Amino acid sequence: MAERRKKEFFRGADFPRLFPELADAEVEFVQRGAGVAEDGKRGSLSFRERTLEGHLPCANPSCRKGGFGIGAVIEAIAAARRPDGEGEVACAGYVGALRPAESGAPAATCSNRLAVKVKLRYKPAGP
**Site residues (CB under 5 A) for Zn ion?**
58, 60, 63, 66, 91, 93, 110, 112
Please provide the DSSP assignment of 74-92 as one string: HHHHHHTT-SEEEEEEE--
Of 10 and 83, the one with the shorter C-beta distance to Zn ion is 10
Of 58 and 73, the one with the shorter C-beta distance to Zn ion is 58
Return the ∠ at Cα 48 (arms to 45 and 49), rounded to 5°: 60
Of 67 and 71, the one with the shorter C-beta distance to Zn ion is 67
Nearest distance, CB of residue 107 and Zn ion, angstroms? 12
Nearest distance, CB of residue 78 and Zn ion, angstroms? 26
Nearest distance, CB of residue 5 and Zn ion, angstroms? 24
d(CA 52, CA 10): 9
Return the ∠ at Cα 43 (arms to 18 and 115), rounded to 5°: 70
